[in-house]
């Protein structure tokens, strides 16, 4: 397995992606985005989107929610800001350039934290997950959607083969589900409550964690 992605490689990659991201990734990631936002709307309330990108997900939320979005990439957030200037998303409360590894929000600030196609791309995924739990109220949920490593068969072999080149493009096809499960077990303050493939193709996996009511977690 390759090392976890370097933050600066990701920043450079997404500065290049920003102008063309919506056209290229919008339709391809649609089923995953919709599934994550639907699950988040069921939790409702104050939602933090980490790695919000250009804000493609805003169309999937409504006025029953209050959205805060953060992203490490200035050019991606600039696109998200342009999107809210249309006035179509009054429920988007704040957008900020921020590293998901060091959230500046107070403990228990959100009802739900959503990460769409981002957890596999950060330098330290376990630290990001621990930060997500910290900013969640007790009983709140983390909702992740991603392509995860196939682990077996031809697809797994292809994913390993392209992993190095994919990294430079800001992609990571070889991130295993087991890593998320192991984090939850070690952390102790979040329980895995769902893992399911998204229809119709099963390319993406939705994973949900619930923050424990009493939190005696390892940071």
Ligand X SMILES: C[S@@+](CC[C@H](N)C(=O)[O-])C[C@H]1O[C@@H](n2cnc3c(N)ncnc32)[C@H](O)[C@@H]1O
CA–CA gap between residue 151 and residue 62 (Å, rounded): 37
For residue 213, the minimal CB distance to ligand X (Å) is 28
Residue 33 vs 134, nearer CB to ligand X = 33
Which position has the token pair 């409550």?
193
CA–CA gap between residue 81 and residue 130 (Å, rounded): 27
Interface with ligand X (CB under 6 A): 7, 10, 14, 25, 29, 33, 50-53, 56, 70-73, 76, 99-101, 116-118, 121-122
Residue 59 vs 212, nearer CB to ligand X = 59
Taking CB atoms, the residue at the shortest distance from ligand X is 53
CA–CA gap between residue 54 and residue 32 (Å, rounded): 16
Residue 11 vs 212, nearer CB to ligand X = 11
List alpha helices for the chain, DSSP H: 7-17, 21-28, 30-43, 74-84, 125-135, 153-168, 177-187
Residue 43 vs 50, nearer CB to ligand X = 50
For residue 216, the minimal CB distance to ligand X (Å) is 27
């Amino acid at each position: 397995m390759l090392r976890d992605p370097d933050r600066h490689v990701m920043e450079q990659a997404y500065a290049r992606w920003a102008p063309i991201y919506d056209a290229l990734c919008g339709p391809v990631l649609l089923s995953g985005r919709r599934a994550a936002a639907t699950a988040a709307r069921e939790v409702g309330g104050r939602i933090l989107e980490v790695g919000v990108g250009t804000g493609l997900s805003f169309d999937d939320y409504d006025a029953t929610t209050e959205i805060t979005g953060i992203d490490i990439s200035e050019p991606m957030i600039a696109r998200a800001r342009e999107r809210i200037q249309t006035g179509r998303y009054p429920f988007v409360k704040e957008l900020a350039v921020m590293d998901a590894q060091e959230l500046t929000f107070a403990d228990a600030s959100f009802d739900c934290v959503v990460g769409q196609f981002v957890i596999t791309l950060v330098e330290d995924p376990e630290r990001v997950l621990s930060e997500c739990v910290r900013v969640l109220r007790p009983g709140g949920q983390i909702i992740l959607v991603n392509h995860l490593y196939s682990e077996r068969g031809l697809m797994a072999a292809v994913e390993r083969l392209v992993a190095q080149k994919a990294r430079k493009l800001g992609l990571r096809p070889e991130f295993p589900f087991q890593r998320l499960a192991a984090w939850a077990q070690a952390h102790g303050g979040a329980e895995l409550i769902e893992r399911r493939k998204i229809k119709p193709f099963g390319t993406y996996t939705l994973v949900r964690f619930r923050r424990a009511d009493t939190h005696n977690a390892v940071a």
